[in-house]
Amino acid sequence: MPEKPAIRIDRVSKTFRLGDGRELTALTDIDLSIASGEFVALLGPSGCGKSTILRLVAALEAATAGRVTIEGRAPAELCQSHRLGVAFQDHALLPWLDIEANVALPFHLAGRPVDGARVRDLIALVGLTGFEKARPRQLSGGMRQRASIARALVLEPEVLLLDEPFGALDAVTRRQMNVELQRIWSRHRITTLLVTHSVDEALFLADRVVVMSGRPGRVILDLPAPFARPRAPSVMREPAFHDLVDQLTEALEPEGAHA
């Protein structure tokens, strides 16, 4: 029997009711399966529903039609047992806590004793040893995002959800964080769903890149990334990488753009 997918988005549609009584269909008939330990990136134009998919998987929204499951269970079950790790573009670190306390925060929220060794190991994993007692404002944007990723991993989640985690960073720092995220992911191989606007980032990090249409969002391309791991930044200079970037970029263009 085939292995049950870690994340199953089964013919999901999502409609929002606006304040004036109108309805807005964000997603239509999304069908997507993500295997255990797989890294999938979602690409699409602004407003296509990429973040809505992430919010459905994170149990922050409910589908209007269809069903979302994680390991065959409702996402809310994993949230309640703190088995989902989430990192957003806004790192959301608490400014009055130092980095060590921010990374340890999920233990307190889950009502568990803090595993100090786990916290220290993750701070080391994301390259922040020596900055444990720093406040977020004392760190660069890239360092704050490292701390946010450490916090998302601290309870050993089954699924990691990343919503434009590096979108606010400059190009050089973003490239460095892509390399760091790949290193961290390779260590844990957690099932990961990444939302990004960057074609290069998606192709460098993911096992598969899923492209969505403009609103209402639907899947229009599901492309495997055929590059062996670990991936050095030099892979982005290979002709095969550029060919796939071109294919993905063309898929992102509005329908009729080539007419």
| pLDDT score of 258 more than 60 | no
The 10s digit of each residue's pLDDT in 130-167 is: 999 999 999 988 889 889 888 988 888 889 999 888 88
Mean pLDDT on 45-49: 84
User: How many angstroms separate the CA atoms of 161 and 227, rounded?
Assistant: 22
149-158 pLDDT tens trace: 889 888 888 8
Dump pLDDT digits (tens) for 4-30.
889 999 999 998 887 777 888 889 999
Number of H helices, E strands in the chain: 8, 9
Q: Is the pLDDT at 194 greater than 70, yes or no?
A: yes
Say whether pLDDT at 91 is over 80: no
Dist. CA 202–CA 72, nearest whole Å:
26
pLDDT band with cut points at 50, 70 and 90 for residue 255:
low
The whole-number average pLDDT for the span 226-233 is: 90
Once rounded to an integer, what is the mean pLDDT over residues 191-198? 93
Q: What is the pLDDT of residue 1?
A: 45
pLDDT score at 256: 46
Average pLDDT, the chain: 88
Highest mean pLDDT pick, 78-82, 138-142, 178-182, 222-226: 222-226
Which of these, 34, 59, 70, lies nearest to 206 by C-alpha position? Answer: 34
Q: Is the pTM here over 0.75, yes or no?
A: yes
Q: Which domains does the chain have, with CATH numbers?
A: 1-83+160-165+197-259 (3.40.50.300)
Mean of the pLDDT values across residues 84-89?
82
For residue 24, give every residue at least 6 positions away whose Cβ sits within 8 Å of its Cβ, in sequence order, or none. Answer: 15, 16, 17, 18, 215
Residue with the larger pLDDT of the pair 258 and 253: 253
Report phi then psi at 140, rounded to 5. -70, 165
Q: Work out the pLDDT band at 222, boundaries 50, 70, 90.
A: very high
